[in-house]
Amino acid sequence: MGRASAGNTADSARLERILNAKQRLIGVDVEALNAQVEEKKQIKHVEQALQQHHAEASSCHLGMMTMNQLDAASLRKTWDREVQDFRATSQGKATTREWDLNRPDAKRQELPARLGDDDPRCGPASLQRFAGEDLTVGERTAAQREQCRAWWDEQTAAKVQQKQQEQEEKFELAATIRGLDSLQCSMMSDEAAARAELARQIAAGNAELRQLQAATRDAERQKELRAKLTELEAAKQDPWLNEDPQQAASAMSPARVRKDHWKGMSAAQRDAITQEQLGQVLARRAAAAQAAAEEAAAAAEQHSIHKAVMQQAQAAGDFRRKQAAAAAEVLRRQVEEKAARDAQVKETYSNKVSDSYYAQFGTSHR
């Protein structure tokens, strides 16, 4: 017994490893793994906070951009209206220097043959004075015609300007809506791609961590198994431990042994114990392999669920983009139909005044 104690205590590190059941069975630094898990959770929390911040910033920028576009459109309409008013009031043909040379009614501006009964140009022989004659009928008729023409031109210009303004507002609103829809679709696509990439990275990290843990456990198990098999083989080949147990047989009874000659169990008994221990080791390895397979199956199922959710989200995004494109197409067709209908109405109900209308002034139909 003294020699066995001395041989077993020679390798103190190996003896401590064998006697420490927790280290022999677990063999993994649980605190380090927990620290890694907590670190990944913190990284994920920071990424989520950054994504939320980016989403809020994008929404704020979108609102500011929309307000700036609306303000610019309003300023542009105001400027166009002022330019048109200035052209109508201050840049007419009558304000140019060459108006006297190119004036179509220059002859009408000349003095008539007589200005009145007391015109000094008309003498007694001119026969320009008659009783009951209305000398202002021409001027009055011309003034009436000019007044009617001015009213009609003013009304026509106001209607045309109003239609142009309405058409410009419709086009600007449609362009703003299309821009907003395009920006929203682009942001949703970028967000979906970022989420898919993040999920893929997390899944890859988890798979790598599982493989590392499985490899570590397998290495520890193989190391422990080799140590046990080495120890068992050494015990089998040790000459002192394999002494013949028949020396301890008692002459008084086959069931009794001599304590001063006891050398331990027989080889068959030791082999049976060894086989039983080996079966226990194999059973533990099979249970660990089954647990690893179940964990891998659960991870694969979770991955398939996440993939299905991402596919549904992508399909929903494609459907929204198709709806937006269809709405834009319908709006474009409506704008074209409205323009054609307005042109037809303008052509049909233009209510133009011809020269025959003006020619009937001062005439009689009786």
Quote the pLDDT of residue 353.
67
State yes or no: pLDDT of 366 exceeds 60: no
The two three-digit tokens of residue 9, written as one number: 């205590």
Quote the pLDDT of residue 39.
87
State how far the Cα of 210 lies from the Cα of 295, in Å rounded to an integer: 9
Quote the pLDDT of residue 283.
92
State how far the Cα of 170 lies from the Cα of 338, in Å rounded to an integer: 11
**In the block, which residue shows the tokens 């007419």?**
92
Answering whether pTM is above 0.85, one says: no
Q: How many other C-beta atoms can be found within 10 angstroms of the C-beta atom of residue 292?
A: 15
> Side chain identity at 152, as an amino acid letter?
W
Residue 249's DSSP bridge partners are 257
State how far the Cα of 136 lies from the Cα of 61, in Å rounded to an integer: 70
pLDDT digit string, tens, across residues 310-321: 988 888 888 888
> How much is the average pLDDT of 72-86?
88
Quote the pLDDT of residue 4.
47
CB 73 within 8 A of CB 172: yes
Quote the pLDDT of residue 102.
83
CB 306 within 8 A of CB 196: no
Quote the pLDDT of residue 281.
92
Please report, rounded to a whole number, the percentage of residues in the chain having pLDDT higher than 70: 82
pLDDT digit string, tens, across residues 258-302: 777 666 666 777 788 889 999 999 999 999 999 999 999 888 888
Using DSSP's 3-state secondary structure scheme, residue 249 falls into: strand
The two three-digit tokens of residue 31, written as one number: 């605190």
230, 200, 351, 210: which is closest to 292 by C-alpha?
210
Q: How far apart are the first and last CA of the chain?
A: 157
Using DSSP's 3-state secondary structure scheme, residue 349 falls into: coil
**In the block, which residue shows the tokens 């023409």?**
149
Q: Which residues contact 27 (CB under 8 A, 6 or more apart)?
A: 216, 217, 220, 221, 224
Quote the pLDDT of residue 10.
52
Quote the pLDDT of residue 1.
45
> Side chain identity at 260, as an amino acid letter?
D
